[in-house]
Structure 1
């Protein structure tokens, strides 16, 4: 019942919280590293599909400009 109206973002967060309750120290080093550097899944999840598309376009344009000016 709860899953019908749940967004993908809230579903991921709920599953993450359940995993932390079951295994609080299992991925301690990985969690520490991710907290310092951030994760791609967190970035894309926070931006949504429009923001992710814009980010990809910006990266492609920056790559093309870099290739043009560095040649």
Structure 2
């Protein structure tokens, strides 16, 4: 089902862009696939960075708490 939706999306893009040749359509399809792959990789990287940020925030909170406890 997802492949059908993706194919439909590609066909709509090709129709909207007014591709005049099969080669041009295939080229645009490859470019779209590359862009989708890049977006996927960026999402994965973003998730990893968010996880790292969460870890660092927890460490910072722990350090702040330890310092405030030691002052009291």
Q: TM-score, normalised by structure 1?
A: 0.39
Comparing both structures, which one devotes a greater share of its residues to helix? 2
- Normalising by the residue count of structure 2, what TM-score does the alignment of the two structures yield? 0.39
Q: Say which one has the larger Rg.
A: 2
